[in-house]
Amino acid sequence: MTVLDPARSGQFRTAAQHASRRVPIAQRDELASHVLDAMRGQHYESAAAVAVLDGDRLVGLVTIERLLAAQPTAPISLLMDANPPVVASSTVQEQAAWKAVHHNEPTLAVIDEGRFAGLVPATALLEVLLTEHNEDLVRLGGFLRSASPAQMTTVEPVLRRLWHRLPWLGVGLVGALLAAGIVGNFEADLAEHVLIAFFVPGVVYLADAIGTQTEALVIRGLSLGIGVRRIVGREIATGALLGLILGGVSLLLVGSIWRDWHVALAVALSLLAAASIATVIALVLPWGISKLGKDPAFGSGPLATVTQDLLTVMIYLITASALVV
Amino acid sequence: MTVLDPARSGQFRTAAQHASRRVPIAQRDELASHVLDAMRGQHYESAAAVAVLDGDRLVGLVTIERLLAAQPTAPISLLMDANPPVVASSTVQEQAAWKAVHHNEPTLAVIDEGRFAGLVPATALLEVLLTEHNEDLVRLGGFLRSASPAQMTTVEPVLRRLWHRLPWLGVGLVGALLAAGIVGNFEADLAEHVLIAFFVPGVVYLADAIGTQTEALVIRGLSLGIGVRRIVGREIATGALLGLILGGVSLLLVGSIWRDWHVALAVALSLLAAASIATVIALVLPWGISKLGKDPAFGSGPLATVTQDLLTVMIYLITASALVV
């Protein structure tokens, strides 16, 4: 397993941290009315569902709604969902919340090495989903990680807005100067063939757009506990194919519009290369940063974009100067 | 109010669509044990909380946990939260879910013109939050709107990936060709002053980064029912200030590194203009698209980026050719 296995990296809160044992518990042969009687006077953290145990092993869940609707003499084993949504105690919190939603259950059972470890209440599941949502937008949007939830950001005063945004823009400014330095290395080629300069913004934009799509998938995947390894093959193939399609179309269009097939070929080849590389960066940067012990979130959004832009500019100018001059 | 008032546009589902009346209901003078007795044998959609009514007016909520823990003889009016999380039936669904989370409640009461209209079960709140999260990432990432939830997208095969991504990249390709056309209009200036070409990628990148930050706020705000009008003033001020700061710093850096204060001034002025305009586009484009009766989501992500990039290239080259040549 890599460090990116979210359940094992320290950066992700797990289902166990939200599980409560202050929930109703019953044995499988108890009757519905007995279980309901026994619940009275108890102080539960969540009474949304009754955990049915056999020793310390979970055998099913009964929602409070189903328990109330049942015949008083019905045994709990006939009422319970014998295949309830269950997660391991190490499951990443958002993955756990996702599982509950897809079972249409307001609660989730947590199992630790086969033993019942508690139920995650609906309030905890709701908070997890809201927090993760805010975090993802903060990441992709290029805000300082300490930014308050986006709801706050939406109405916060101008000076705090500046504070949350300037750090990443500062990184962007350094990137912009580096890009100028890269272009400067090809000054002579550009002076001779100005046409090369025409396609710098477009090639950079397209490589960026492909990288952003991959980032959105990686961020979503990481939150849900889907490791980069599971998507890396398909993503790289998709990136290369997108580069091939966009490169092919732009070869024909640039060539026939601007009547310079050398520059057209340079645009096409660099789109192919840049699209493939943008995908790899969007996949690898979060991974590399987590290897350094930092939050992989820093590898998405602005940092990935700056890195991609610099590489794309370099690839395009190297290709163009090789083909044209 | 503008069309962007999410509660009034047809594009947003409201709290009323998730409210259920199949929930336990009690009068304020009932005793805890009576309420619990009366709940047996009933088929509720959610029994997470008891709605306490006075006629058809909601006066409080009692969670099932609190009801179970109470003395049997306690009157329900002493147990209830007399100030529970309540939303109007027209409240946008995600805003409603957000309110429940911040009250740390697994349920939410819906009021229609003063009358109790039902409770939103936790399962509905959970589903709302997950759906909105996927939608936001699909928008920002530049996928076709019909893309399945991102979880699916993460593992779907290569051909379906292409299908969900190519449409927006096609728009990007058209934008890239238009950008080349814009640069082409300044061919003579560029040939004479190649230095101008050095800063095209950097200026475009920085304007983009500022626009993306605003987009993340607008998307979050729209989901939570915060209209563009409430943030427009602060956002525009923030965008202009960011442009001023970045412009000032880059004036000094470009001027002292490349020793051409005309080009440095062109970079600075166009950063100021482009940053301000990028903010306005990120605010106005979703609004304009909703005016046309389309989903405002189309105004975020790729379309906003392409529009910004083209305007930024134009602003920079006009400024540079005016100041330098």
- Residue of B106, B172, B197 lying closest to A106 (CB–CB): B106
Q: Which of B92, B127, B162 is the last residue of a domain?
A: B127
CATH number at residue B117: 3.10.580.10
Q: Looking at per-residue confidence, does B50 or A221 come out higher?
A: B50
Q: Do A180 and B191 touch (CB under 8 A)?
A: no
Amino acid identity of B132? E
Task: Mention every residue, 6+ apart, whose C-beta is less than 8 A from residue A49.
Answer: A23, A24, A61, A62, A63, A64, A84, A105, A106, A107, A119
Q: Do B69 and A253 touch (CB under 8 A)?
A: no
Same domain, A155 and A22: no
Q: Looking at per-residue confidence, does A129 or B199 come out higher?
A: B199
Nearest-Å Rg of the Cα atoms of chain A is 27
| B99-138 residues touching A, CB cutoff 8 A | 100-101, 104-106, 121-123, 125-127, 129-130, 132-134, 136-138
How close does chain A come to B225, measured CA to CA in Å?
Answer: 10
**Enclosing domain of residue B296:** 150-324
CA A226, CA A222: separation in Å to the nearest integer? 6
Task: Mention every residue, 6+ apart, whose C-beta is less than 8 A from residue A257.
Answer: B177
Q: Is residue B108 part of a domain?
A: yes
How close does chain B come to A188, measured CA to CA in Å?
Answer: 9
Coil, strand, or helix at residue B153?
Answer: helix
Question: Which of A301-310, B75-84, B122-131 has maximum average pLDDT?
Answer: B75-84
Q: Is residue A133 part of a domain?
A: no
Burial of B201 (0-12, 13-18, 19+ CB in 10 A): buried
Q: Do A176 and B64 touch (CB under 8 A)?
A: no
Same domain, A180 and A259: yes
Q: What is the pLDDT of residue B303?
A: 80
Q: Is residue B23 part of a domain?
A: yes
Burial of B255 (0-12, 13-18, 19+ CB in 10 A): middle
- Whether B174 has its CB under 8 Å from any CB of chain A: the answer is no
Same domain, A116 and A160: no
Q: Is residue A141 part of a domain?
A: no
Residues of A in contact with B177 (CB under 8 A): 202, 250, 253-254, 257
Beta strands in B24-124 (DSSP E): 25-27, 49-54, 57-63, 86-88, 108-112, 115-120
Beta strands in A93-206 (DSSP E): 108-112, 115-120
- Whether A250 has its CB under 8 Å from any CB of chain B: the answer is yes
CA B305, CA A211: separation in Å to the nearest integer? 14
Strand duo A57-63 + A49-54: pairing: antiparallel
- Residue of A40, A137, A209 lying closest to B169 (CB–CB): A209
Mean pLDDT of B230-245: 90
Start-to-end Cα distance in chain A: 48
Of B47, B57, B4, B52, nearest to B27 (Cα)?
A: B52
Same domain, B93 and B159: no
Domains in chain A: how many in total? 2
* Chain B residue with Cα closest to A38: B68
**Contact B191/A191 with Cβ under 8 angstroms?**
yes
Q: What is the pLDDT of residue B161?
A: 78
ipTM: 0.80
Same domain, B114 and B241: no
Question: Which of A17-21, A129-133, B207-211, B271-275 has maximum average pLDDT?
Answer: B271-275
Q: Is residue A142 part of a domain?
A: no
Examine the pLDDT at B7 and tell me if it is beyond 50. Answer: no
- Whether B184 has its CB under 8 Å from any CB of chain A: the answer is yes
The string of pLDDT tens digits covering residues A142-165 is 776 555 544 445 667 778 778 888
The alpha carbon of B178 is separated from its chain's Cα centroid by a whole number of angstroms, namely 29
User: What DSSP designation does A81 have?
Assistant: B
Same domain, A194 and A277: yes
Q: Which of B78, B95, B127 is the last residue of a domain?
A: B127
What are the structure tokens assigned to A150, written together?
């986006």
**Contact A306/A177 with Cβ under 8 angstroms?**
no
Q: Which of A125, A141, A168 is the last residue of a domain?
A: A125
Same domain, A60 and A196: no
Residues of A in contact with B127 (CB under 8 A): 101, 104
Examine the pLDDT at B151 and tell me if it is beyond 60. Answer: no
Q: What is the layout of strands, in order, in the sheet containing B57-63?
A: B25-27, B49-54, B57-63
Same domain, B180 and B305: yes
The string of pLDDT tens digits covering residues A184-207 is 999 999 999 999 999 999 999 999
What are the structure tokens assigned to B158, written together?
């290569």
Same domain, B290 and B161: yes
Same domain, A29 and A113: yes
CATH number at residue B255: 1.10.357.20
Same domain, A160 and A67: no
